[in-house]
Each structure stands twice: as C-alpha cells, then as structure tokens.
Amino acid sequence: MLSLLILLAIVVVFAVWAVGIYNGLVTARNAYKNAFAQIDVQLQRRFDLIPNLVETAKGYLEHERGTLESVTAARNAAQAGLAAAKASPGDPAAMAELSRSQGMLDGALGRLLVTVEAYPDLKANQNMMQLTEELTSTENRVAFARQAFNDSVMAYNNKREVFPSSIVAGMFNFAPAALLEIPADQQEQVRAAPKVQF
C-alpha cells in the first residue's frame, strides 16, 4: 500500500511538472504571437502612410514616376508578405517572405526620400514634412516591435530547446519559431544609403 502511494505521488508530481512546462511553452508561444501583432499594427500604419506620401510627391516628381511606382509596388508586396506572416507568425518561410518584402519596401522608400531631398519645394511642403516625420516615427516603432518580437521568439525557442522542456515540447510538437531578420542578400542594400543621379 505504501509503495502504491509513493508511486501515485511520483505520478502526480510528474504530471504537475509536465503541465507546468506545457503551460510555460504555451505562454511563451502566445507571447511571441502577441509581439508579432504589434509588428502588424505598426506595419499597417506604415502602409497607410505610403499612399499619402506618394500622392503628395506626385505633383512635384513628374520626372520620377518610376520611383513612385516602385514604392507603390513594394508596398503591395509588403502587404502580401504581412498577410502571409499574420496567418503563421514564427513560421520560417513566412518570416523570410515578410523580411524580403519589407527589405524591398525599405529600399524603395529610401530612394523616394533621397529623391525628395533634390526638390526643395517638395521638401518644404507642409504635408510632405508631416508625412516624412510620421514615417520616421513609424519606422522607429516597427524597429522596436521587431526587436520585441525577436526577443519573444528567442525566449520561446530557448524554453523549447532546454532540457527537460525539450521533452514536453517534442511530445506536443512545439515547432521552432523564426526571427524576423533582414535576409542576407538584402542586408547590404537596406543598410546602404541610396544613390540618386541627376
């Protein structure tokens, strides 16, 4: 009878331990999904600013139609990348596509802002000044949200990989989550200052 009670106590302790680990993994997974939701909010804000920025610049940049069209095309691609990532935050393929499309948008916006510098009337336009300030603020918020997401993903992945949590994570198929990073083939392009020739 005593050995049965000891065995039962061990089973109960093991069950409580496994439930605690499982709940910790679920909490960590929900934390990185919530962090991704903050990225979504900031990127949507960014996407909403871009048409206003392009429309304001349109009248001044008649000779720069290609620049405006590339910003619009990059925005549309970035929105599609965000939609795919929202469906599966942390999925490596979705994060890679989001990173790639955001890198393209960063490059196109950088070229537009450098082009604006060459047009003093446009640069001094009150709407343009307000929009570029809003865009800069939003870019900072995106960077902070991305860092919070990456921190949450790292915490989840660490929790998932350390022993003994790795046993429970394997039993319940807790997949690794991917960071939101600039793709290697775009790092130089995104970090380099755009060059404009007249």
User: Is residue 197 one of the residues assigned to a domain?
Assistant: no
Average pLDDT over residues 13-35: 93
C-alpha 103/C-alpha 148 separation (Å) is 19
User: Is residue 101 one of the residues assigned to a domain?
Assistant: yes
pLDDT digits (tens, 9 = 90+) for 50-69: 888 888 887 777 777 788 88
Domains identified in the chain, total number:
1
| Cβ count within 10 A of residue 2 | 6
Torsion, Cα of 112, 127, 40, 156 (10° steps): 80
User: Is residue 157 one of the residues assigned to a domain?
Assistant: yes
User: What's residue 187's pLDDT?
Assistant: 56
User: Is residue 110 one of the residues assigned to a domain?
Assistant: yes
Q: What CATH number does the domain containing 135 carry?
A: 1.20.1440.20
Highest mean pLDDT among 126-130, 150-154, 177-181: 150-154
C-alpha 142/C-alpha 129 separation (Å) is 20
Query: What is the value of pTM for the model shown?
Result: 0.79
User: What's residue 196's pLDDT?
Assistant: 38
Average pLDDT score over the chain? 86
User: Is residue 6 one of the residues assigned to a domain?
Assistant: no
The whole domain housing 67 covers 16-191
User: Is residue 177 one of the residues assigned to a domain?
Assistant: yes
pLDDT of 198 above 50: no
User: Is residue 32 one of the residues assigned to a domain?
Assistant: yes
User: Is residue 10 one of the residues assigned to a domain?
Assistant: no
Helix (H) or strand (E) holding 39: helix 2-58
